[in-house]
Chain A
Amino acid sequence: MNDLIIIVTGSLVAICCGILGCFLILRKMAMVSDAISHAVLPGIVIAFMLGSDLDSIWMLVGAGLVGVFTTFLIEFFHRQGKLQTDASIGVTFTWLFAIGVIMVSYYAGDAHIDQDCVLYGEIAYVPIDPIITDSGSVLGPKALIVLSIVLLVILAVILPFYKEFFLTSFDPAYAAAIGISATIWHYLLMSLVSITTVASFESVGAILVVAFLIVPPATAYLITTRLHHMIGLSCVFGILAAILGYYIAYWIDGSIAGAMATVAGLNFGFVFGWTQIKKARPVTSPPISQD
Protein backbone atom coordinates (compact mmCIF):
# COMPACT_ATOMS: atom_id res chain seq x y z
CA MET A 1 0.00 0.00 0.00
CA ASN A 2 2.78 2.42 0.96
CA ASP A 3 4.59 1.53 -2.26
CA LEU A 4 1.56 2.48 -4.22
CA ILE A 5 1.07 5.78 -2.38
CA ILE A 6 4.67 6.77 -3.02
CA ILE A 7 4.53 5.83 -6.68
CA VAL A 8 1.22 7.68 -7.17
CA THR A 9 2.63 10.76 -5.42
CA GLY A 10 5.72 10.66 -7.63
CA SER A 11 3.53 10.24 -10.71
CA LEU A 12 1.37 13.23 -9.73
CA VAL A 13 4.48 15.37 -9.39
CA ALA A 14 5.61 14.06 -12.78
CA ILE A 15 2.30 14.86 -14.48
CA CYS A 16 1.97 18.38 -13.02
CA CYS A 17 5.58 19.14 -13.92
CA GLY A 18 5.37 17.43 -17.31
CA ILE A 19 2.49 19.59 -18.49
CA LEU A 20 3.98 22.88 -17.31
CA GLY A 21 7.54 21.97 -18.26
CA CYS A 22 6.62 21.66 -21.94
CA PHE A 23 5.52 25.29 -22.04
CA LEU A 24 8.58 26.35 -20.05
CA ILE A 25 11.14 24.81 -22.36
CA LEU A 26 9.31 26.01 -25.49
CA ARG A 27 9.37 29.54 -24.06
CA LYS A 28 13.10 29.06 -23.41
CA MET A 29 12.44 29.59 -19.73
CA ALA A 30 13.67 26.29 -18.32
CA MET A 31 16.00 28.00 -15.90
CA VAL A 32 13.25 30.32 -14.67
CA SER A 33 11.68 27.24 -13.11
CA ASP A 34 14.96 26.59 -11.33
CA ALA A 35 14.86 30.15 -10.05
CA ILE A 36 11.26 29.85 -8.89
CA SER A 37 11.84 26.55 -7.14
CA HIS A 38 14.51 28.20 -4.98
CA ALA A 39 12.96 31.62 -4.63
CA VAL A 40 9.70 30.31 -3.14
CA LEU A 41 11.57 29.41 0.04
CA PRO A 42 10.82 32.72 1.82
CA GLY A 43 7.21 32.36 0.73
CA ILE A 44 7.04 28.96 2.34
CA VAL A 45 8.54 30.23 5.58
CA ILE A 46 6.26 33.28 5.76
CA ALA A 47 3.23 31.13 5.05
CA PHE A 48 4.43 28.72 7.70
CA MET A 49 4.62 31.54 10.25
CA LEU A 50 1.15 32.78 9.33
CA GLY A 51 -0.44 29.37 9.25
CA SER A 52 1.31 27.96 12.33
CA ASP A 53 1.54 24.55 10.71
CA LEU A 54 2.88 23.67 7.28
CA ASP A 55 -0.62 24.58 6.32
CA SER A 56 -0.98 23.57 2.70
CA ILE A 57 -3.34 26.23 1.36
CA TRP A 58 -1.42 29.16 2.88
CA MET A 59 1.79 27.71 1.62
CA LEU A 60 0.49 27.42 -1.93
CA VAL A 61 -0.78 30.98 -1.89
CA GLY A 62 2.42 32.38 -0.35
CA ALA A 63 4.63 30.51 -2.76
CA GLY A 64 2.47 31.44 -5.71
CA LEU A 65 2.87 35.12 -4.85
CA VAL A 66 6.63 34.86 -4.37
CA GLY A 67 6.91 32.93 -7.62
CA VAL A 68 5.12 35.68 -9.54
CA PHE A 69 7.25 38.27 -7.74
CA THR A 70 10.39 36.38 -8.82
CA THR A 71 9.26 36.31 -12.42
CA PHE A 72 8.46 40.00 -12.24
CA LEU A 73 11.89 40.86 -10.80
CA ILE A 74 13.66 38.83 -13.49
CA GLU A 75 11.74 40.66 -16.21
CA PHE A 76 12.23 44.00 -14.49
CA PHE A 77 16.03 43.75 -14.22
CA HIS A 78 16.19 42.45 -17.78
CA ARG A 79 14.02 45.23 -19.25
CA GLN A 80 14.92 48.22 -17.10
CA GLY A 81 18.56 47.44 -16.39
CA LYS A 82 19.33 45.83 -19.77
CA LEU A 83 20.79 42.93 -17.79
CA GLN A 84 21.10 39.61 -19.62
CA THR A 85 18.25 37.24 -18.78
CA ASP A 86 20.48 34.58 -17.23
CA ALA A 87 22.31 37.13 -15.09
CA SER A 88 18.96 38.53 -14.06
CA ILE A 89 17.77 35.05 -13.05
CA GLY A 90 20.98 34.47 -11.10
CA VAL A 91 20.71 37.69 -9.16
CA THR A 92 17.03 37.30 -8.34
CA PHE A 93 16.74 33.76 -7.12
CA THR A 94 19.95 33.52 -5.13
CA TRP A 95 18.94 36.63 -3.25
CA LEU A 96 15.44 35.40 -2.45
CA PHE A 97 16.75 31.95 -1.61
CA ALA A 98 19.36 33.41 0.72
CA ILE A 99 16.65 35.32 2.59
CA GLY A 100 14.74 32.05 2.83
CA VAL A 101 17.78 30.27 4.25
CA ILE A 102 18.19 32.92 6.95
CA MET A 103 14.52 32.67 7.82
CA VAL A 104 14.62 28.89 8.01
CA SER A 105 17.70 28.88 10.24
CA TYR A 106 16.12 31.54 12.48
CA TYR A 107 12.88 29.65 12.97
CA ALA A 108 14.35 26.15 12.83
CA GLY A 109 14.31 25.87 16.63
CA ASP A 110 10.57 25.75 17.01
CA ALA A 111 9.51 24.22 13.71
CA HIS A 112 9.75 21.05 11.80
CA ILE A 113 11.03 22.95 8.80
CA ASP A 114 14.71 22.73 7.91
CA GLN A 115 16.99 23.04 4.92
CA ASP A 116 17.12 19.31 4.26
CA CYS A 117 13.37 18.97 4.16
CA VAL A 118 13.00 21.93 1.82
CA LEU A 119 15.87 21.10 -0.50
CA TYR A 120 15.65 17.36 -0.76
CA GLY A 121 12.15 16.46 0.42
CA GLU A 122 11.35 12.92 1.51
CA ILE A 123 8.77 11.11 -0.48
CA ALA A 124 9.05 8.08 1.81
CA TYR A 125 7.30 10.07 4.55
CA VAL A 126 4.26 10.82 2.40
CA PRO A 127 2.20 7.79 3.56
CA ILE A 128 2.75 8.62 7.28
CA ASP A 129 1.54 12.24 7.04
CA PRO A 130 -2.23 12.02 6.53
CA ILE A 131 -4.82 14.78 6.64
CA ILE A 132 -7.12 14.14 9.57
CA THR A 133 -10.42 16.01 9.76
CA ASP A 134 -11.75 17.55 12.99
CA SER A 135 -14.09 14.60 13.46
CA GLY A 136 -11.07 12.33 13.40
CA SER A 137 -11.48 10.54 10.09
CA VAL A 138 -8.41 10.10 7.91
CA LEU A 139 -8.73 11.66 4.47
CA GLY A 140 -5.50 10.29 3.07
CA PRO A 141 -1.87 11.28 2.73
CA LYS A 142 -1.52 15.06 2.67
CA ALA A 143 0.95 15.35 -0.20
CA LEU A 144 -1.24 13.11 -2.33
CA ILE A 145 -4.33 15.23 -1.74
CA VAL A 146 -2.53 18.55 -2.25
CA LEU A 147 -0.92 17.34 -5.47
CA SER A 148 -4.25 16.08 -6.78
CA ILE A 149 -5.78 19.50 -6.17
CA VAL A 150 -2.84 21.19 -7.90
CA LEU A 151 -3.22 18.87 -10.89
CA LEU A 152 -6.92 19.75 -11.12
CA VAL A 153 -6.07 23.45 -10.98
CA ILE A 154 -3.49 23.03 -13.75
CA LEU A 155 -5.96 21.15 -15.94
CA ALA A 156 -8.67 23.71 -15.22
CA VAL A 157 -6.37 26.47 -16.49
CA ILE A 158 -4.52 24.77 -19.35
CA LEU A 159 -7.38 22.87 -21.00
CA PRO A 160 -9.77 25.78 -21.67
CA PHE A 161 -6.94 28.15 -22.57
CA TYR A 162 -4.77 25.71 -24.47
CA LYS A 163 -4.80 27.75 -27.66
CA GLU A 164 -3.81 30.95 -25.85
CA PHE A 165 -0.87 29.20 -24.17
CA PHE A 166 0.06 27.63 -27.50
CA LEU A 167 0.02 30.92 -29.39
CA THR A 168 1.78 33.03 -26.75
CA SER A 169 4.51 30.38 -26.47
CA PHE A 170 5.09 30.25 -30.23
CA ASP A 171 4.68 33.87 -31.30
CA PRO A 172 4.04 36.42 -28.53
CA ALA A 173 4.28 39.40 -30.90
CA TYR A 174 1.56 38.08 -33.17
CA ALA A 175 -0.54 37.19 -30.13
CA ALA A 176 -0.30 40.77 -28.90
CA ALA A 177 -1.10 42.06 -32.38
CA ILE A 178 -4.37 40.12 -32.50
CA GLY A 179 -5.29 41.23 -28.99
CA ILE A 180 -4.14 38.30 -26.85
CA SER A 181 -1.88 39.71 -24.14
CA ALA A 182 1.21 37.54 -23.76
CA THR A 183 1.90 39.03 -20.32
CA ILE A 184 -1.22 37.67 -18.63
CA TRP A 185 -0.56 34.13 -19.83
CA HIS A 186 3.09 34.43 -18.91
CA TYR A 187 2.30 35.30 -15.29
CA LEU A 188 -0.49 32.73 -15.09
CA LEU A 189 1.93 30.03 -16.22
CA MET A 190 4.50 31.21 -13.70
CA SER A 191 1.98 31.08 -10.84
CA LEU A 192 1.12 27.52 -11.82
CA VAL A 193 4.82 26.64 -11.83
CA SER A 194 5.19 28.21 -8.39
CA ILE A 195 2.32 26.33 -6.76
CA THR A 196 3.47 23.10 -8.40
CA THR A 197 6.95 23.62 -7.02
CA VAL A 198 5.63 24.15 -3.52
CA ALA A 199 3.19 21.26 -3.68
CA SER A 200 6.05 19.03 -4.83
CA PHE A 201 8.76 20.21 -2.52
CA GLU A 202 7.73 18.11 0.44
CA SER A 203 7.95 14.97 -1.64
CA VAL A 204 10.84 15.56 -4.04
CA GLY A 205 12.43 18.77 -2.75
CA ALA A 206 13.09 22.10 -4.38
CA ILE A 207 16.08 20.87 -6.38
CA LEU A 208 14.73 17.69 -7.90
CA VAL A 209 11.40 19.25 -8.85
CA VAL A 210 13.39 21.03 -11.54
CA ALA A 211 14.40 17.63 -12.92
CA PHE A 212 10.73 16.72 -13.24
CA LEU A 213 9.90 20.07 -14.83
CA ILE A 214 12.63 19.97 -17.44
CA VAL A 215 13.91 16.48 -18.17
CA PRO A 216 10.74 14.60 -19.26
CA PRO A 217 9.54 17.49 -21.48
CA ALA A 218 13.04 17.79 -22.98
CA THR A 219 12.99 14.05 -23.69
CA ALA A 220 9.56 14.28 -25.31
CA TYR A 221 10.66 17.31 -27.35
CA LEU A 222 13.31 15.20 -29.07
CA ILE A 223 10.80 12.83 -30.63
CA THR A 224 7.55 14.75 -31.12
CA THR A 225 6.30 17.20 -33.73
CA ARG A 226 3.07 18.42 -32.12
CA LEU A 227 2.65 20.18 -28.80
CA HIS A 228 -0.12 17.98 -27.42
CA HIS A 229 1.89 14.84 -28.21
CA MET A 230 4.86 16.39 -26.44
CA ILE A 231 2.78 17.06 -23.32
CA GLY A 232 1.32 13.55 -23.30
CA LEU A 233 4.67 11.89 -23.83
CA SER A 234 6.42 13.97 -21.17
CA CYS A 235 3.79 12.79 -18.65
CA VAL A 236 4.46 9.19 -19.71
CA PHE A 237 8.23 9.66 -19.32
CA GLY A 238 7.65 11.27 -15.93
CA ILE A 239 5.45 8.43 -14.67
CA LEU A 240 7.96 5.89 -15.98
CA ALA A 241 10.68 7.66 -14.01
CA ALA A 242 8.51 7.61 -10.86
CA ILE A 243 7.80 3.87 -11.08
CA LEU A 244 11.28 2.69 -12.10
CA GLY A 245 12.91 5.16 -9.73
CA TYR A 246 10.94 3.82 -6.78
CA TYR A 247 11.96 0.21 -7.39
CA ILE A 248 15.58 1.13 -8.02
CA ALA A 249 15.66 3.10 -4.75
CA TYR A 250 14.04 0.15 -2.97
CA TRP A 251 16.62 -2.21 -4.46
CA ILE A 252 19.68 -0.13 -3.60
CA ASP A 253 18.08 1.27 -0.43
CA GLY A 254 18.74 4.91 -1.43
CA SER A 255 16.92 8.19 -1.94
CA ILE A 256 13.66 7.62 -3.78
CA ALA A 257 13.38 11.09 -5.32
CA GLY A 258 17.04 10.91 -6.34
CA ALA A 259 16.48 7.60 -8.08
CA MET A 260 13.40 8.94 -9.87
CA ALA A 261 15.30 11.95 -11.20
CA THR A 262 18.22 9.72 -12.19
CA VAL A 263 15.90 7.48 -14.19
CA ALA A 264 14.47 10.56 -15.90
CA GLY A 265 18.02 11.57 -16.86
CA LEU A 266 18.89 8.09 -18.14
CA ASN A 267 15.67 8.10 -20.08
CA PHE A 268 16.72 11.33 -21.77
CA GLY A 269 20.12 9.79 -22.53
CA PHE A 270 18.56 6.75 -24.21
CA VAL A 271 16.14 8.79 -26.29
CA PHE A 272 18.87 11.22 -27.27
CA GLY A 273 21.14 8.35 -28.29
CA TRP A 274 18.34 6.79 -30.29
CA THR A 275 17.61 10.00 -32.21
CA GLN A 276 21.33 10.38 -32.99
CA ILE A 277 21.55 6.82 -34.32
CA LYS A 278 18.44 7.42 -36.41
CA LYS A 279 19.96 10.60 -37.80
CA ALA A 280 23.22 8.88 -38.68
CA ARG A 281 21.50 6.25 -40.83
CA PRO A 282 21.59 6.87 -44.59
CA VAL A 283 18.55 8.68 -45.99
CA THR A 284 16.11 6.20 -47.52
CA SER A 285 13.22 8.53 -48.32
CA PRO A 286 13.47 11.25 -50.97
CA PRO A 287 14.41 14.71 -49.70
CA ILE A 288 11.73 17.28 -49.01
CA SER A 289 11.04 19.34 -52.11
CA GLN A 290 11.73 23.02 -51.83
CA ASP A 291 8.53 24.25 -53.39
Chain B
Amino acid sequence: MIEQVQNPALEIHDLTVSYDKKPVLWGIDLSVPKGAIAGIVGPNGAGKSTLIKSVMGLVPLSSGYVKIFDEELNTVRKRVSYVPQRESVDWDFPASVLDVVMMGRYSKVGLMRRLRKADLEAARYALQQVGMEKFEKRQISQLSGGQQQRVFLARALTQQADIYFMDEPFAGVDAATEKAIIQLLKEMASQGKTVIVVHHDLQSVATYFDWIIMLNLRLVASGPTEKAFSQELLEETYGGKLTLLTEVGELMKKGQYPTREKQ
Protein backbone atom coordinates (compact mmCIF):
# COMPACT_ATOMS: atom_id res chain seq x y z
CA MET B 1 0.00 0.00 0.00
CA ILE B 2 1.99 2.94 -1.25
CA GLU B 3 0.13 6.14 -1.85
CA GLN B 4 1.81 8.90 -3.83
CA VAL B 5 0.70 12.50 -3.43
CA GLN B 6 0.73 15.54 -5.70
CA ASN B 7 3.02 18.43 -4.82
CA PRO B 8 4.69 16.60 -1.90
CA ALA B 9 6.88 18.05 0.85
CA LEU B 10 9.23 15.09 0.58
CA GLU B 11 9.72 12.87 -2.42
CA ILE B 12 12.02 9.87 -2.41
CA HIS B 13 12.54 8.09 -5.69
CA ASP B 14 14.09 4.64 -6.12
CA LEU B 15 16.43 5.16 -3.18
CA THR B 16 18.97 2.46 -2.36
CA VAL B 17 21.57 2.80 0.38
CA SER B 18 24.21 0.23 1.19
CA TYR B 19 26.96 -0.16 3.74
CA ASP B 20 29.84 -2.32 2.52
CA LYS B 21 27.91 -3.44 -0.55
CA LYS B 22 25.17 -4.76 1.72
CA PRO B 23 21.93 -2.90 1.00
CA VAL B 24 20.26 -1.45 4.09
CA LEU B 25 17.53 0.31 2.13
CA TRP B 26 16.26 -1.04 -1.12
CA GLY B 27 14.22 0.70 -3.82
CA ILE B 28 12.39 3.16 -1.58
CA ASP B 29 9.80 5.15 -3.49
CA LEU B 30 7.50 7.41 -1.51
CA SER B 31 6.08 10.87 -1.06
CA VAL B 32 4.78 12.72 1.98
CA PRO B 33 2.21 15.54 1.74
CA LYS B 34 2.79 19.02 3.15
CA GLY B 35 1.56 19.62 6.68
CA ALA B 36 1.64 15.95 7.63
CA ILE B 37 3.02 14.42 10.80
CA ALA B 38 4.52 11.26 9.40
CA GLY B 39 5.79 8.36 11.46
CA ILE B 40 8.44 5.95 10.23
CA VAL B 41 8.05 2.54 11.88
CA GLY B 42 9.70 -0.81 11.43
CA PRO B 43 11.71 -3.39 13.39
CA ASN B 44 15.26 -2.77 14.62
CA GLY B 45 17.73 -2.57 11.75
CA ALA B 46 14.97 -1.83 9.24
CA GLY B 47 16.80 1.28 8.07
CA LYS B 48 14.58 3.91 9.72
CA SER B 49 17.45 6.15 10.84
CA THR B 50 19.30 5.48 7.62
CA LEU B 51 16.30 6.73 5.66
CA ILE B 52 16.38 10.06 7.51
CA LYS B 53 20.15 10.29 7.26
CA SER B 54 20.07 9.67 3.54
CA VAL B 55 17.47 12.42 3.12
CA MET B 56 19.75 14.77 5.08
CA GLY B 57 22.72 13.82 2.91
CA LEU B 58 24.59 12.20 5.79
CA VAL B 59 25.07 8.82 4.11
CA PRO B 60 25.97 8.27 0.45
CA LEU B 61 23.19 7.03 -1.82
CA SER B 62 23.81 4.01 -4.03
CA SER B 63 21.00 5.04 -6.34
CA GLY B 64 17.92 7.21 -6.52
CA TYR B 65 17.27 10.77 -5.44
CA VAL B 66 15.57 12.78 -2.74
CA LYS B 67 13.64 15.98 -3.33
CA ILE B 68 12.35 18.35 -0.71
CA PHE B 69 9.72 20.83 -1.90
CA ASP B 70 10.61 19.64 -5.40
CA GLU B 71 14.22 20.88 -5.00
CA GLU B 72 17.63 19.42 -4.20
CA LEU B 73 18.53 19.48 -0.50
CA ASN B 74 21.31 22.04 -1.03
CA THR B 75 18.99 24.65 -2.49
CA VAL B 76 16.38 24.31 0.27
CA ARG B 77 18.67 23.50 3.21
CA LYS B 78 17.55 26.59 5.12
CA ARG B 79 13.97 25.29 5.11
CA VAL B 80 15.00 21.87 6.45
CA SER B 81 15.73 20.96 10.05
CA TYR B 82 17.07 17.82 11.64
CA VAL B 83 16.90 16.39 15.15
CA PRO B 84 19.53 13.64 15.53
CA GLN B 85 19.20 10.80 18.03
CA ARG B 86 19.80 12.05 21.54
CA GLU B 87 22.51 9.44 22.15
CA SER B 88 24.51 10.63 19.13
CA VAL B 89 26.23 13.39 21.11
CA ASP B 90 28.25 13.60 24.32
CA TRP B 91 26.03 15.35 26.88
CA ASP B 92 29.04 15.97 29.15
CA PHE B 93 30.22 18.56 26.64
CA PRO B 94 31.01 21.90 28.31
CA ALA B 95 28.05 23.85 26.92
CA SER B 96 24.95 25.46 28.38
CA VAL B 97 21.39 24.83 27.22
CA LEU B 98 21.38 28.20 25.47
CA ASP B 99 24.70 27.42 23.71
CA VAL B 100 23.16 24.31 22.16
CA VAL B 101 19.88 25.94 21.18
CA MET B 102 21.75 28.84 19.55
CA MET B 103 23.43 26.31 17.21
CA GLY B 104 20.16 26.26 15.32
CA ARG B 105 20.91 29.83 14.21
CA TYR B 106 24.41 29.15 12.89
CA SER B 107 23.37 28.48 9.31
CA LYS B 108 21.25 31.62 9.22
CA VAL B 109 24.05 33.75 10.67
CA GLY B 110 26.69 32.45 8.25
CA LEU B 111 30.45 32.10 8.40
CA MET B 112 32.58 34.47 10.47
CA ARG B 113 29.55 36.40 11.75
CA ARG B 114 28.62 36.67 15.36
CA LEU B 115 25.21 35.82 16.75
CA ARG B 116 22.97 38.83 17.29
CA LYS B 117 20.26 39.77 19.70
CA ALA B 118 17.59 38.52 17.31
CA ASP B 119 19.22 35.07 17.41
CA LEU B 120 19.18 35.13 21.20
CA GLU B 121 15.51 36.04 21.16
CA ALA B 122 14.72 33.25 18.71
CA ALA B 123 16.56 30.79 20.96
CA ARG B 124 14.73 31.99 24.08
CA TYR B 125 11.38 31.75 22.28
CA ALA B 126 12.16 28.18 21.20
CA LEU B 127 13.06 27.27 24.79
CA GLN B 128 9.72 28.70 25.88
CA GLN B 129 7.92 26.58 23.30
CA VAL B 130 9.40 23.42 24.77
CA GLY B 131 8.97 24.62 28.35
CA MET B 132 12.68 24.89 29.12
CA GLU B 133 13.04 28.66 29.55
CA LYS B 134 14.10 28.29 33.18
CA PHE B 135 17.04 26.08 32.22
CA GLU B 136 18.90 28.24 29.70
CA LYS B 137 22.02 28.65 31.86
CA ARG B 138 22.22 25.04 32.97
CA GLN B 139 25.00 22.82 31.73
CA ILE B 140 23.63 20.16 29.41
CA SER B 141 25.09 17.31 31.48
CA GLN B 142 22.71 18.23 34.29
CA LEU B 143 19.59 17.56 32.24
CA SER B 144 17.34 14.51 32.31
CA GLY B 145 16.76 12.52 29.14
CA GLY B 146 13.47 14.26 28.47
CA GLN B 147 15.02 17.68 28.98
CA GLN B 148 17.87 16.83 26.61
CA GLN B 149 15.32 15.89 23.97
CA ARG B 150 13.49 19.18 24.50
CA VAL B 151 16.77 21.08 24.05
CA PHE B 152 17.38 19.29 20.74
CA LEU B 153 13.85 20.11 19.67
CA ALA B 154 14.30 23.77 20.63
CA ARG B 155 17.50 23.89 18.60
CA ALA B 156 15.61 22.65 15.55
CA LEU B 157 12.76 25.11 16.17
CA THR B 158 15.13 28.11 16.08
CA GLN B 159 15.83 27.27 12.46
CA GLN B 160 12.23 28.18 11.65
CA ALA B 161 12.24 25.53 8.95
CA ASP B 162 9.32 24.19 6.93
CA ILE B 163 10.15 20.51 7.22
CA TYR B 164 11.56 18.69 10.25
CA PHE B 165 13.21 15.27 10.37
CA MET B 166 13.39 13.77 13.85
CA ASP B 167 15.26 10.61 14.76
CA GLU B 168 13.48 8.90 17.67
CA PRO B 169 12.49 12.02 19.61
CA PHE B 170 10.41 9.88 22.00
CA ALA B 171 13.15 7.39 22.91
CA GLY B 172 13.73 7.30 26.64
CA VAL B 173 11.77 10.44 27.49
CA ASP B 174 9.26 10.79 30.32
CA ALA B 175 5.52 10.80 29.67
CA ALA B 176 5.18 14.54 30.27
CA THR B 177 7.85 15.33 27.69
CA GLU B 178 6.31 12.96 25.16
CA LYS B 179 2.96 14.68 25.56
CA ALA B 180 4.52 18.15 25.31
CA ILE B 181 6.45 17.19 22.19
CA ILE B 182 3.48 15.67 20.35
CA GLN B 183 1.38 18.73 21.18
CA LEU B 184 4.11 20.94 19.73
CA LEU B 185 4.33 18.79 16.59
CA LYS B 186 0.57 19.06 16.08
CA GLU B 187 0.77 22.82 16.45
CA MET B 188 3.57 22.93 13.88
CA ALA B 189 1.57 20.78 11.47
CA SER B 190 -1.44 23.09 11.84
CA GLN B 191 0.85 25.90 10.66
CA GLY B 192 1.56 23.91 7.51
CA LYS B 193 4.93 22.53 8.59
CA THR B 194 5.79 18.95 7.78
CA VAL B 195 7.23 16.70 10.46
CA ILE B 196 8.75 13.29 9.81
CA VAL B 197 9.50 11.19 12.88
CA VAL B 198 11.26 7.86 13.41
CA HIS B 199 9.10 6.08 15.94
CA HIS B 200 9.21 2.87 17.99
CA ASP B 201 5.99 2.59 19.91
CA LEU B 202 3.27 1.03 17.77
CA GLN B 203 0.56 1.71 20.33
CA SER B 204 0.72 5.46 19.87
CA VAL B 205 0.98 5.46 16.08
CA ALA B 206 -2.73 5.98 15.40
CA THR B 207 -3.04 8.95 17.76
CA TYR B 208 0.23 10.67 16.86
CA PHE B 209 0.55 10.41 13.10
CA ASP B 210 -1.68 11.17 10.18
CA TRP B 211 0.77 9.59 7.73
CA ILE B 212 2.65 6.35 8.23
CA ILE B 213 5.74 4.91 6.57
CA MET B 214 6.36 1.22 7.28
CA LEU B 215 9.83 0.03 6.55
CA ASN B 216 11.78 -3.17 6.63
CA LEU B 217 14.73 -2.68 4.27
CA ARG B 218 12.06 -2.33 1.58
CA LEU B 219 9.14 0.01 1.83
CA VAL B 220 6.08 -1.92 2.99
CA ALA B 221 3.60 0.93 3.18
CA SER B 222 3.36 4.68 2.91
CA GLY B 223 0.00 6.36 3.24
CA PRO B 224 -2.60 7.92 5.52
CA THR B 225 -2.57 6.18 8.90
CA GLU B 226 -6.21 5.07 8.76
CA LYS B 227 -5.56 3.26 5.47
CA ALA B 228 -2.03 1.97 5.87
CA PHE B 229 -1.83 1.05 9.54
CA SER B 230 -3.43 -2.37 9.25
CA GLN B 231 -2.82 -5.72 10.88
CA GLU B 232 -1.87 -7.25 7.57
CA LEU B 233 0.77 -4.63 6.70
CA LEU B 234 2.11 -4.67 10.26
CA GLU B 235 2.68 -8.40 9.95
CA GLU B 236 4.42 -7.85 6.65
CA THR B 237 6.66 -5.22 8.24
CA TYR B 238 7.50 -7.03 11.45
CA GLY B 239 7.61 -10.57 10.15
CA GLY B 240 7.22 -13.29 12.74
CA LYS B 241 6.77 -11.30 15.92
CA LEU B 242 3.07 -12.01 15.94
CA THR B 243 2.20 -12.13 19.60
CA LEU B 244 2.94 -8.46 20.07
CA LEU B 245 1.21 -7.63 16.83
CA THR B 246 -1.96 -9.52 17.70
CA GLU B 247 -2.13 -7.52 20.90
CA VAL B 248 -1.76 -4.31 18.99
CA GLY B 249 -4.37 -5.53 16.54
CA GLU B 250 -6.78 -6.23 19.38
CA LEU B 251 -6.21 -2.75 20.70
CA MET B 252 -6.81 -1.26 17.31
CA LYS B 253 -10.11 -3.10 16.99
CA LYS B 254 -11.29 -1.87 20.34
CA GLY B 255 -10.13 1.63 19.48
CA GLN B 256 -8.31 1.94 22.76
CA TYR B 257 -4.84 3.43 22.84
CA PRO B 258 -3.43 3.21 26.35
CA THR B 259 -1.08 5.97 27.32
CA ARG B 260 2.54 5.05 27.80
CA GLU B 261 3.85 4.20 31.19
CA LYS B 262 6.15 6.69 32.80
CA GLN B 263 9.76 5.73 32.22
Contact = CB atoms under 8 A, between A and B. Distances in A.
B107 A171 contact: no
Contacts of A290: 144, 146-147, 174
A140 B94 CA distance: 39
Given A161-B111, A177-B58, A170 B100 contact: yes
B82 interface: yes
Contact of A171 (B20, B103, B146): B103
A114 interface: no
B149 interface: no
Given A171-B89, A229-B94, A164 B111 contact: yes
Interface residues of A, number: 29
Category for how many chain B residues contact A: 35 or more
A178 B107 contact: yes
Interface string A87-112: 00000000000000000000000000
A164 B89 CA distance: 16
A291 B84 CA distance: 22
Given A177-B58, A291-B176, A221 B94 contact: yes
A227 interface: yes
B171 to A, nearest CB: 16
A230 B96 CA distance: 13
B106 A178 contact: yes
A225 B143 CA distance: 13
Contacts of A136: none
Contacts of A166: 95, 99, 103
B72 to A, nearest CB: 12
Given A171-B89, A173-B58, A225 B96 contact: yes
Interface in B4-21: 20
A61 B142 CA distance: 43
A279 interface: no
Interface string A263-291: 00000000000000000000000001011
Looking at A26, A82, A176, A177, the one whose CB has the most chain B CB atoms below 10 A away is A177
Interface in B55-71: 56-58
B95 A227 contact: yes
Contacts, number: 89
Contacts of B89: 170-171
A26 B93 contact: yes
A225 B103 contact: no
Given A171-B84, A224-B94, A180 B107 contact: yes
Given A176-B58, A177-B56, A288-B142, A167 B96 contact: no
Which of B80, B93, B104 has the most chain A CB within a 10 Å cutoff? B93
A61 to B, nearest CB: 25
Interface string B40-55: 0000000000000100
Given A164-B111, A174-B84, A176-B57, A225 B106 contact: no
Interface string B135-155: 000010110101100000001
Contacts of A180: 106-107
B103 A174 contact: yes
Contacts of A169: 93
Interface in A202-242: 221, 224-227, 229-230
Nearest to A227: B94
B27 to A, nearest CB: 24
A177 B106 CA distance: 12
A27 to B, nearest CB: 10
Given A163-B103, A178-B107, 4 more contacts: A167-B106, A173-B53, A176-B58, A229-B94
12 contacts: A26-B94, A163-B115, A169-B93, A171-B103, A177-B57, A178-B159, A225-B141, A226-B94, A226-B99, A227-B93, A230-B94, A290-B144
